[in-house]
Amino acid sequence: MSRTRLLVSGAAVAALLSACAVGPDYVKPKLDMPVAWKTEAPWREIAPDDAAAKGPWWQRFGDPQLDQLQTRALANNPTLALASARLAQARATLEGVSAARFPQLAVGTRAQRLKISADRPLSNYSSANFSTVQNEFALSFTVGYEVDLAGRVQRSVEGARASAEQSAADLENTRLLLGTDLAAAYFNLRALDIEIDVLARSIALQQRAFELISSRRDLGAASGLEVAQQQALLDTTRVQVDVLARQRSQFEHAIATLTGTAAPLFSLAPEVRDSVPPAVPVGVPSDVLERRPDVASAERAMAAANAQIGVAKAAFYPSVLLAPSIGVDSRTLGALFDAPSLMWSLGVSATQTLFDGGRLNANVDFARAGYNGTVANYRRVVLSAMQEVEDGITGGAALERAHTQALAAVASARRVLDIATARYEGGATTYLDVITAQQALLVTERQAAQLLGQRLLTSVFLVKALGGDWQAAQVAAAPAS
């Protein structure tokens, strides 16, 4: 058999062997999923569209200030930049690992003048050594190729690809978490703005009442006790303003950090807005597994861990390397490319582990345990996703009813205050009824503001639980549960 036929046959055998990869092929695990959520009005269903972009969901709240902050956060947040850098690293790793599937070509050159020692060990007792001084010029081309006998390279590429996809999902998850954290801090701040505005109006009302009761005392129509009671109520309300102002500053600092701005350089002017949470549509529970980036990340982690089992098992098989080379070597530069200067080599090297004290078995056990851990983590992430969506659905409906009732309670409290004030001015009751009515109005107005903030936060968390934005054109009315 000629040398050419031998090389072609060897290459064919190597390709055939490299097509066999040991270790389990990855199969996405199946989970028992509920067929529907426990929905109640006003929730709607949506047709799944997993290829659609997941943002900018915050624009559905109709707040230009929030839109600007989200844009700044996406451009300047350091955590998002870190996730982007990790994705770039994972993709570069994939390119590096994939390169092992191809032959590695190298060229080498050498030019030197050397002196050979006359006292070097003899290669023949009948021939004496001589010292020589001569030149050497060499030019060589080498090829290196690992025969993927057991699929080690194939499994490594599979694992690197899954890791790169996991990093991409992590980046999307970081972007989603950044947006929801920013929206949560922003809506908490705006809820406090509403509460502070309620306190400011209450202070103005209580100040006018204090002036009125002071005038009545000067006329002998009110007692000093009534004046002291109104003064105590006014002072207590002013204290609450300072407490809320401190809480607002903390949310303001959090927004600054999320947008990549130093806290001392950032400020948001107070603003009272009648924000309305958007109607967040929900699909079937299985959509969450396809839309949520953290679920996708956990699933890709399983694929990467599964590939590592194959890499560990491939170590039981021989490592086969093909390393042919060709070149020229001469002591004179002019004769470097003459026929006698030609040199070449063909060969195969193989290494097989015979005894390692159980190291390879331990590596396989380690990889298999790692895979089992990623499966458990995947189930945990999925169950948490189911919980978050169900919490958002049930909590949103309850908060909407509570907020509607709170607004009715505010209207009732205002009527009570008007009646109590009129009765006191007519001498039909004591001023304690007026103070009680003022306190009740303040409590109900603050409660309404807090419930509005909680509704907005619940909408944000539900968007996060569902994996991002949705397509309005796909929303269809759902039958009442």
Output the pLDDT for position 6.
Answer: 44
Residue 246 lies in a domain: yes
Average pLDDT of span 259-277 = 89
Residue labelled with tokens 């954290």 = 181
Contact at 8 Å (CB) between 271 and 190? yes
Rounded distance, CA 471 to CA 456, Å?
Answer: 20
Q: Which structural domain range is residue 176 located in?
A: 24-102+150-317+359-476
Angle between helices 64-76 and 78-98 (to 10 degrees): 40
Residue 351 lies in a domain: no
Mean pLDDT score across all residues of the chain: 83
Contact at 8 Å (CB) between 191 and 452? yes
Q: Which residue has the higher pLDDT, 432 or 260?
A: 260
Contact at 8 Å (CB) between 320 and 352? no
pLDDT, tens only, 172-213: 999 999 999 999 999 999 999 989 998 888 888 888 888 888
pTM above 0.85, yes or no: no
Contact at 8 Å (CB) between 156 and 100? yes
Average pLDDT of span 320-337 = 90
Q: Which two three-digit tokens encode residue 94?
A: 């994939």
Q: Which residues of 87-96 are buried (b: 16+ CB within 10 A; e: fewer)?
A: beebbebbee
pLDDT, tens only, 407-423: 999 999 999 989 988 88
Most confident among 129-133, 137-141, 288-292 (mean pLDDT): 137-141
Residue 407 lies in a domain: yes
Domains: count for the chain: 1
CATH of the domain at 387: 1.20.1600.10
| pLDDT surpassing 90 at residue 171 | yes
Residue 139 lies in a domain: no
Residue 378 lies in a domain: yes
Residue labelled with tokens 């036929």 = 5
pLDDT, tens only, 40-68: 444 333 333 333 456 688 988 889 999 99
**Per-residue three-class SS string for 289-330:** HHHCHHHHHHHHHHHHHHHHHHHHHHCCCCEEEECCEEEEEE
Residue 131 lies in a domain: no
241: alpha, beta or left? (left if phi > 0; alpha if psi -120 to 50): alpha
Contact at 8 Å (CB) between 110 and 136? yes
Kindly give, in sequence order, each residue whose CB lies less than 8 Å from that of residue 129, ignoring residues fewer than 6 positions away: 117, 118, 119, 120, 122
**Burial class of residue 247 (count of CB atoms within 10 Å of its CB; 0-12, 13-18, 19+):** middle
Residue 59 lies in a domain: yes
Residue 115 lies in a domain: no
Q: 252: closest CA among 266, 271, 240, 273?
A: 266
Q: Which runs of consecutive H residues, i.e. helices, occur in 59-151?
A: 64-76, 78-98
Q: Looking at the DSSP assignment, which residues form a beta bridge with residue 106?
A: 142
